[in-house]
Amino acid sequence: MDEIGSGNVVIRSAYSNINYKDALAVTGKGRIMKRFPLVAGIDASGYVHSSEDPRFKEGDPVLVVGCGLGETSDGGFSEFVKVKGDWIVHLPEGLSLHDAMAIGTAGFTAAMAIQRMEDNGQAPDNGPVLVTGATGGVGGMATSMLAGLGYHVAAMTIVGEEDYLTSIGAAEVVDGNELEMGERPLEKSLWAGAIDAVGGKTLAWITRTMRPWETLPLSGWRAVTIW
């Protein structure tokens, strides 16, 4: 047990999910793991096994997302996960340990983006919201969540899957392969909001087609940033 981390809370891991970041780590295609040996898994849910932190007691259902799991400390694919108490979230009421990880880091990221948008005045009546990378984890969860909240969601993808995207709530599907992005500083104002997980020229185009005073969260590997 002394070899699995330097945190003050030990969690018996019940569930984790396989993220894009985990795939990059275990295939060596991304510089995710900062030391070796290291257990992968950038999130985990489970029960507190032991705790030196008074905020947590044995048997508490909890979860951890990010915070260096699977990068600098052993992650959720281990039977036990030893982490700092500051990293841990008590399992929200209404969620099971399984569902928390089925939603996972991607869903957590999407929810953060939507929350920050709404904190900045985003509302369904403002107009359509664009979601890029909509067939991916963050994009798919964002599409579903926004639709459930009553937003008109334009789901952007370069791989098709129109039936799938409409089944999870997309009101329209934007084909990135056929999109004329233009090069002018400002293009036609289209979006009352957008959630971007792609970056690059797609992000540049979104900034040129946003309506005035609207919100644009950018999700990456480490944070959600809002414009």
What domains, with CATH codes, occur in the chain?
9-91 (3.90.180.10), 105-226 (3.40.50.720)
Per-residue confidence (pLDDT) for residue 225, from 0 to 100: 54
Entry pTM: 0.84
CB 9 within 8 A of CB 83: yes
Q: What is the mean pLDDT of the chain?
A: 91
**Which residue in 63, 65, 85 sits closest to 12, CA to CA?**
63
Angle at 117 between CA 154 and CA 126, to 5 degrees: 55
Per-residue confidence (pLDDT) for residue 115, from 0 to 100: 95
175-187 confidence digits (pLDDT tens): 988 877 877 788 8
Average pLDDT of the segment spanning 117-133: 95
Number of C-alpha atoms within 13 angstroms, CB side, residue 102?
A: 5
**Which residue in 42, 48, 61 sits closest to 11, CA to CA?**
48
Rounded to an integer, what distance in angstroms lies between the CA atom of residue 7 and that of residue 84?
Answer: 4
Residue 78 has pLDDT above 80, yes or no: yes
Average pLDDT of the segment spanning 163-175: 95
If pLDDT is split at 50, 70 and 90, which confidence band does 91 have?
very high
Cross-strand pairs, 69:
73
Residue 159 has pLDDT above 90, yes or no: no
Per-residue confidence (pLDDT) for residue 221, from 0 to 100: 54
